Structure 1
């Protein structure tokens, strides 16, 4: 582009090319999901792939779009997040100092940087890179929002407010906006702030955020006076607040790692959420205000793998508790992945397929894509349409996407062999790309804020930073801006009409323009009007009564949500009217009704019963009973749970619903369901007992008798689950029988030693010389328990010379099956407390320890610790070698399947690897195996637990509630522990995956293993 033309563009002459929605001559293209190759295919070496000049080799673009490089290293490195200002400059957050204590990578003592990239000559490439801010306190920040001369930086545990007071593109002032959010440098903490159409800030944090504190360190209270902490909310959350951080509202909870909320012009929120790695449960959500999104159990806070009645058959659905009343449904489940930045595209430059739609980065699958949505009842449906897909270079890791002032997309590429967890395999690279229709120049229109017209013009920009400046200017103009805003209101473009509405009601006359919006023909404008009425604290109930006459399910959804937190006399009647409009099919609407009745269920359900005499008679009313959380619904739940006209499988949902209701009435009603012992009644009895409080059962003779009768009819896992829950002493002989017959002996033995009566039987058996075989079976049953009771038994047997050699040998071997036991074995070996002929059994017992140092240290006492393994070739050579997939599968089975599953085969301990080849290339696979500490997946961190009885346990916490902890230990074994028995918990610095896994492999085995893992791709 010539300098002359560049100057004209920067003066704003060809405004028709702007991507904003009102600039109607912008480039249009027909909807298409077809792709074209960006470059001619060629074969590149691994070294050549890494060169910036080849960064787009292998990229496929949506038809009609092209991608060009805007900037590469060394102008920037490791971009975690970006924003684009009103001048078209790209602001980049860098993360060079990413988890150095884990990755062992070098660091910059000066700290990480915020870099501004600028295209000064209009050729679509950055010419200048300047540092806005660098400081040792800046450590791998994850979110940036440019709001005029203020920059908000999200870096758990802080949100920094950086201000450029003199306009020199340098931060002069640094303040804390929020703090106390999760741990430092945690990927699941605070994410980006977004300026909304209503003049508010929207933001979120993942499930490590936990709480929100203000600048003074006080817990923030939300719009209902509730502290934003685990006391009131759980896991990842979504928020809204004023520009100064005041009036924080919690808008949704119970996500895992919800990453960057995106808000459209109507005030509708969208975001992505990451599953526990390897469970194919990544999702896209429409964020229904005040909704619970089901990552953890809403009542017990147990993790999703925990067994529950009516558990979902498919793990991707089970992951989000989708069968539970009170869980908002997912918009779209996208399988595996590592989702990051998202925006709503409201420009005209891109093809119509993408206009008004989410655009999202998925670095796990090396793609930037869109999820076009369509309304479906009170909710939406969506599909996946790729925009930019890298098919040759798995180092392409799109971390964030923004819209430039001209309507083009700016994409940040983290560029790394790995993604997710805590891994960083490359510190020297990073790229920024621009996506636009072919031959579209890059520019930013000159914005004039001295006039109302200029401010309104900026408000229409597809670029958020420009809209913010327009809003701020309109705030200063006040009432004088009304005529220009009315022109925009009447322009015919609905999204621009919505933007005009928000400005009119927030800056001019709230009540007047809310009431105008509520009579508009467009349901989305009506919805925006009701949302504004709530924000402005107007008489919302009058407006809800007006809108509740509508038959539009989206409007009715908002009416139900608007009742949330309001317990005035009128609410119950209005809610009941809305509930009668539920059709029995629309889960979105049902959950909106649940949100509206929250904390007011007694009154709402009573009002509903006045309109529906028999709420068990129709699918719609049965759903209302299922969703209700009031004692008044209990009798109807009981009727439905025992209705023989409904299949027992369908009735499971009603038994599950009992878990969400508290009170004696529930327990007494469930107790009344215990009748007879027919096959079906036994199922009902079992379900009823499972949903009663344990103490209630033990104090009720009828419940206890029914439990005994039921246990007599059960076998295996079902029997052990109930017995482990209630620990009836009368069942101990049967548990002993199970051990002797090899029927789930570990679980049976562990159930025995949990009760005083059972422990006495175990000790009597071990002390009986005539029952030596049964004693050995008991030792093998309790060996992996690791609790003080089992350790004491084994320790006593090891040292008691009056015992038979067989018992002492087996006890010595069994001691090495738990972390506590392994520590004792090493101590005893060092102190020479194990007699010489038992040392081989002690070493054998720890030979499968996940801690490599334990295995190596113990083996020294056999005198044969010298390794004969040859050192593997360097990584650069390994990645060039071709292996055998079939042989690699055998290597995996021998070395990795004890902790990982592939397509259901193997142990469920570490992340599932069925699609790991879609996420990591060969280099990433080698790095993950050779340096496991550098890539610990969130949720798979190891924990050391010190118990009150003096023992220690280590493993992955699968679930933790106020009363119970489920601890996974290698081999897929679950240890159930009472929270009250734990003295302290500490997260391990190292991965539970042993280092040096490849040390014992030949070059061929290592190459075959990686070839196999790389072949595991999404189908």
Structure 2
């Protein structure tokens, strides 16, 4: 028997060594040698990713266990809950299959601790959660965000199936849109935090009634006072609803740390390299749109930044909270605060964020910066080889490891979907760390305290709720946690200890004396929930050594109109250092609804020092009309450089109209060495009615205008004051700047001023080619009529007539005009072949088909056909020739590195955002995935005309459209009959103007733009 066992043992050892030898001899797979199909297989998923050297990435789950994960959460047992988006945008993607039973919420579980999911079960499935963008697990309840609803699903019997459904909120817009309702999170204070992007628009209760913020303001995007994307807080029973920040574009998710500090990411208008990370200073305006008018960032304003990424967020405006960090181009998604200890120190207590655009999971280590923060970037996981890696969310598991969901798709943004079969979850942890999680028992104070210390939100929720229900019985256990050397644990304990009425003041007193500024900040935030405790706390901390603590004191004064609050604000303002924008904006938030009293008190205290840097900033930031005389004085007498004074002109726009007009009039009457500059810069800030009725202003304009001839300012003032006498100068400006936006706008102004005679007189002169190009660029019916006259006038030489026809073909309006010419039989047959070429390059299928019958051209009717995309991606292209194709076909609508027409999304980094197959798809079918903000509209005017473009600004009085060619034009709402969204894209498929190899070359060129 012994010899038999020995023999078996020897065989086992030999087998182990044999296996080890095979592993050692196995050649590592070279990702670059794999076929595209092999690269997409789950077993090769890790080969296309690059992990931070201090960490290890493993594949936790993949298809068919899940597909298209949009958001996730991890429960206290370490199970991953995932919302799927198989049915994303099914109303647009007509050719995609549909799950008639609706999308799913699946629970993925690793039962043996090997770091791989063994089971996938369906918690809930239904059309009411199609493309849900948020999930939060709270014990046996799950909050799901899916515009127009936020719903609560409850598992009443513990079988991992939802048995009960309740509506929490309704009316949120952005249905089947990633700018709608986003995920809820559980805060350290026991409250719920959530947000929606700028398609959300409004928040209604379960019965469809409008909801109000705690201050009484209706929650909608009307600008009274809120705009665009918002972030919210409420109690677990949905009471005490607050808007904590507004004017974001698409704040995809919110993260809250244990001190109650909020962090978000926000997406820019595609291609403008302005993706940002925000510390959400509570009640702040974050500047996506003009706070006062709702105008977009493209609309001209005094003092706007030369840098588009900065201009994008109105950062030069008073009342806009600074950005923590700008990360360039991207499509930011999930975000979390990592408060565990498993990962290396650089990630502890820091933001972890997913950005699907550049295929990356990052951390942003934060450092104090005055009253705010600054951050750097540390990559955690990057799809450096596999561009289909599209991280959609990141969560912290109970063991402190990270889970990252991967939508897995060739493209991102613009609502495009290229893959419906795949999706992954990755686990990130230090090398060799098993995913071995025991189901927690949370029944005693000790177990609850342990749960409260977990890095996992769902576990903390269970600990928090049990301790809260125990009341004073939990004090001893919480007091031990409060004595911890870990400030994160201290803060979590403090929120609960101060819920005990008879102990609140004791622990607040201890907290405001704590050496850690974050604990003192937590004390202020807690005291705001208990008004009787607030003023004593604020008084003790109003002269704190930390500007961040004083920031919180200022914010806590918002809407407190007591004399004590005024005195505290004055103390805080006197401590402003003249350079900390975070602190300045906190002062502005704290001054809300009491600026007049504060300004008078502050001015009496500060005396002549108001004209020092610290005082000038406060004058610039405060919204009381009493500051206007000081703005006038600063512009007139301040020794600051002229460019620095532009911000004072901009500040006028944030004051009431009558007071602003009066102050501006006093300003332009003053004599100064830079009188012309003052007049020209001040005039746009007058209200139109006031300026038009005041001859004094018009006389000043005429005296100062000459020195600004040829500038944008000159053109805007001619337009504002309808100075038809300046038509000749405007015409010369258009010719001199024909290749720029100002030249196009100047020519459009001539048309608007009925000065076509100047244009007609220039035909057949040396500049006629420039004139013809300008007429085609301004997309105007009057311009099309002038081009028609040139085409049909046989006294013109043939080259000029053909040039005019080509110019007419640049726009849809021009092509429609050309069809009417052909229908009337007016187009010379000698020009038929040129017209066919125009319509071949059009991309407007309806117009091509119409022209096909009129011109008897089968080529137009059938269009061009290309090889399938799966074959095109295998073809080799010539990058140099692709750039030439781009210059010929795409530059009229897109910019690369600042060159081209600024109409469609900028493409300077498009190769980072779209994989090769997605690039082909975008070119061949641009209506399949339209970037948000570039959706076309038709304005039906009351005079019967029609204008097509995309909306740059939509204010109370006007809509500003960006037209083909990049021209921006404003249309008064009184003149608009109807605004009709387009079904398809403004961006036409230019592939019809290419041969197949040219298309391949173009994609090769675009692919390397990174």
TM-score, normalising length: structure 1: 0.90
Q: Is the 8 A contact 2:840 2:992 kept in 1?
A: no
Q: Is the 8 A contact 2:105 2:125 kept in 1?
A: yes
String of CA shifts for 1:611-635, please: whole Å, max 9, x gaps.
1112443211111111121122111
- Determine the structure 1 residue equivalent to 2:944: 950
- Determine the structure 2 residue equivalent to 1:244: 237
Q: Does residue 645 of structure 2 align to residue 651 of structure 1?
A: yes
Looking at structure 2, the residues matched to 494 and 713 of structure 1 have their Cα atoms a distance apart, in angstroms, of 62
Q: Quote how far apart the aligned CAs of 1:835 are.
A: 8.0
Choose from 883, 901, 905 the match for 1:907.
901
Q: How does 1:385-534 map to 2 (within 5 A)?
A: 385-506=378-499, 509-534=503-528
- Determine the structure 2 residue equivalent to 1:67: 57
Choose from 721, 728, 734 the match for 2:723.
728
Specify the SS of the correspondent of 2:988: coil
Looking at structure 2, the residues matched to 611 and 396 of structure 1 have their Cα atoms a distance apart, in angstroms, of 58
Choose from 110, 133, 142 the match for 1:142.
133
Specify the SS of the correspondent of 1:160: strand
- Determine the structure 1 residue equivalent to 2:664: 670
Choose from 71, 74, 83 the match for 1:81.
71
Cα 1:934/1:925, change in 2 over 3 Å: same
Q: Does residue 713 of structure 2 align to residue 718 of structure 1?
A: yes
Q: Quote how far apart the aligned CAs of 1:601 are.
A: 1.1
Q: Does residue 182 of structure 2 align to residue 187 of structure 1?
A: no
Cα 1:97/1:831, change in 2 over 3 Å: farther
- Determine the structure 1 residue equivalent to 2:204: 213
Looking at structure 2, the residues matched to 408 and 428 of structure 1 have their Cα atoms a distance apart, in angstroms, of 27
String of CA shifts for 1:63-120, please: whole Å, max 9, x gaps.
3311111111000000011100111111010000111232331111111000011112
Q: Quote how far apart the aligned CAs of 1:129 are.
A: 0.7
Specify the SS of the correspondent of 2:129: coil
Q: Quote how far apart the aligned CAs of 1:543 are.
A: 2.0
Cα 1:795/1:157, change in 2 over 3 Å: farther
Looking at structure 1, the residues matched to 813 and 864 of structure 2 have their Cα atoms a distance apart, in angstroms, of 33
Q: Does residue 103 of structure 2 align to residue 112 of structure 1?
A: yes
Cα 1:39/1:189, change in 2 over 3 Å: farther
Q: Does residue 582 of structure 2 align to residue 584 of structure 1?
A: no
Looking at structure 1, the residues matched to 796 and 699 of structure 2 have their Cα atoms a distance apart, in angstroms, of 42
- Determine the structure 2 residue equivalent to 1:17: none
Looking at structure 2, the residues matched to 679 and 192 of structure 1 have their Cα atoms a distance apart, in angstroms, of 56
Looking at structure 1, the residues matched to 906 and 925 of structure 2 have their Cα atoms a distance apart, in angstroms, of 18
- Determine the structure 2 residue equivalent to 1:128: 119
Looking at structure 2, the residues matched to 202 and 752 of structure 1 have their Cα atoms a distance apart, in angstroms, of 53
- Determine the structure 1 residue equivalent to 2:91: 101
Q: How does 1:455-854 map to 2 (within 5 A)?
A: 455-506=448-499, 509-643=503-637, 645-675=639-669, 680-716=674-710, 717-732=712-727, 734-735=729-730, 746-754=744-752, 758-759=753-754, 762=756, 819-820=812-813, 822-823=815-816, 825-826=818-819, 829=822, 849=842, 851-854=844-847
Q: How does 1:216-365 map to 2 (within 5 A)?
A: 216-231=207-222, 232=224, 233-365=226-358
Which of 178-187 and 503-512 deviates more? 503-512
Q: Is the 8 A contact 1:851 1:992 kept in 2?
A: no
Specify the SS of the correspondent of 2:333: coil
Q: Quote how far apart the aligned CAs of 1:274 are.
A: 0.8
Cα 1:525/1:280, change in 2 over 3 Å: same
String of CA shifts for 1:682-718, please: whole Å, max 9, x gaps.
1111111122112211222211110122223332233
Cα 1:747/1:71, change in 2 over 3 Å: closer
Which stretches in structure 1 are left out of the alignment for 5+ residues?
A: 1-36
Specify the SS of the correspondent of 1:100: coil
Which of 661-670 and 951-960 deviates more? 661-670
Looking at structure 2, the residues matched to 497 and 820 of structure 1 have their Cα atoms a distance apart, in angstroms, of 66
Q: Is the 8 A contact 1:787 1:952 kept in 2?
A: no
Cα 1:898/1:410, change in 2 over 3 Å: same
String of CA shifts for 1:22-63, please: whole Å, max 9, x gaps.
xxxxxxxxxxxxxxx998765322111101000000322223
Looking at structure 1, the residues matched to 82 and 783 of structure 2 have their Cα atoms a distance apart, in angstroms, of 55
Cα 1:736/1:305, change in 2 over 3 Å: closer
Which of 714-723 and 620-629 deviates more? 714-723
Q: Quote how far apart the aligned CAs of 1:965 are.
A: 2.3
Q: Is the 8 A contact 2:113 2:437 kept in 1?
A: no
Cα 1:507/1:216, change in 2 over 3 Å: farther
Q: Quote how far apart the aligned CAs of 1:762 are.
A: 4.2
Q: Is the 8 A contact 1:818 1:953 kept in 2?
A: no
Looking at structure 2, the residues matched to 67 and 505 of structure 1 have their Cα atoms a distance apart, in angstroms, of 41
Cα 1:552/1:747, change in 2 over 3 Å: closer
Looking at structure 2, the residues matched to 480 and 769 of structure 1 have their Cα atoms a distance apart, in angstroms, of 91
Cα 1:920/1:796, change in 2 over 3 Å: closer
Q: Is the 8 A contact 1:616 1:636 kept in 2?
A: no
Which of 123-132 and 970-979 deviates more? 970-979
Specify the SS of the correspondent of 1:165: coil
Specify the SS of the correspondent of 2:290: coil
Cα 1:724/1:471, change in 2 over 3 Å: same
- Determine the structure 2 residue equivalent to 1:922: 916
Q: Quote how far apart the aligned CAs of 1:871 are.
A: 4.2
Specify the SS of the correspondent of 1:667: helix
Looking at structure 2, the residues matched to 99 and 740 of structure 1 have their Cα atoms a distance apart, in angstroms, of 46
Cα 1:428/1:770, change in 2 over 3 Å: closer
Looking at structure 1, the residues matched to 725 and 1001 of structure 2 have their Cα atoms a distance apart, in angstroms, of 54
Q: Is the 8 A contact 1:91 1:115 kept in 2?
A: yes
Looking at structure 1, the residues matched to 189 and 28 of structure 2 have their Cα atoms a distance apart, in angstroms, of 39
Specify the SS of the correspondent of 2:168: strand
Looking at structure 1, the residues matched to 306 and 925 of structure 2 have their Cα atoms a distance apart, in angstroms, of 35
Q: Quote how far apart the aligned CAs of 1:870 are.
A: 7.3
Cα 1:738/1:398, change in 2 over 3 Å: closer
Q: Quote how far apart the aligned CAs of 1:456 are.
A: 1.7
Q: How does 1:866-885 map to 2 (within 5 A)?
A: 866=859, 871-885=865-879
Q: Quote how far apart the aligned CAs of 1:963 are.
A: 2.0
- Determine the structure 1 residue equivalent to 2:17: none
Q: Is the 8 A contact 2:258 2:488 kept in 1?
A: yes
Looking at structure 2, the residues matched to 1005 and 770 of structure 1 have their Cα atoms a distance apart, in angstroms, of 36
- Determine the structure 2 residue equivalent to 1:941: 935
- Computed over aligned residues only, the root mean square deviation of the Cα atoms, in angstroms, reads 3.1
Cα 1:54/1:529, change in 2 over 3 Å: same
Specify the SS of the correspondent of 2:166: strand
Q: Quote how far apart the aligned CAs of 1:339 are.
A: 0.9
- Determine the structure 2 residue equivalent to 1:893: 887
Q: Quote how far apart the aligned CAs of 1:337 are.
A: 1.1
Which of 853-862 and 579-588 deviates more? 853-862
Looking at structure 1, the residues matched to 385 and 777 of structure 2 have their Cα atoms a distance apart, in angstroms, of 45
Looking at structure 2, the residues matched to 843 and 697 of structure 1 have their Cα atoms a distance apart, in angstroms, of 50
Which stretches in structure 2 are left out of the alignment for 5+ residues?
A: 1-26
- Determine the structure 1 residue equivalent to 2:163: 172
Q: Does residue 970 of structure 2 align to residue 998 of structure 1?
A: no
Looking at structure 2, the residues matched to 841 and 578 of structure 1 have their Cα atoms a distance apart, in angstroms, of 71
String of CA shifts for 1:517-546, please: whole Å, max 9, x gaps.
223222111111111111233342332122
String of CA shifts for 1:811-840, please: whole Å, max 9, x gaps.
988776654554455466557687867877
TM-score, normalising length: structure 2: 0.91
Q: Quote how far apart the aligned CAs of 1:250 are.
A: 0.3
Q: How many aligned positions are there?
A: 974
Q: Does residue 85 of structure 2 align to residue 90 of structure 1?
A: no
- Determine the structure 1 residue equivalent to 2:12: none
- Determine the structure 2 residue equivalent to 1:379: 372
Looking at structure 2, the residues matched to 1000 and 734 of structure 1 have their Cα atoms a distance apart, in angstroms, of 38
Looking at structure 2, the residues matched to 66 and 441 of structure 1 have their Cα atoms a distance apart, in angstroms, of 11
String of CA shifts for 1:121-151, please: whole Å, max 9, x gaps.
2221111111111112221111111111111
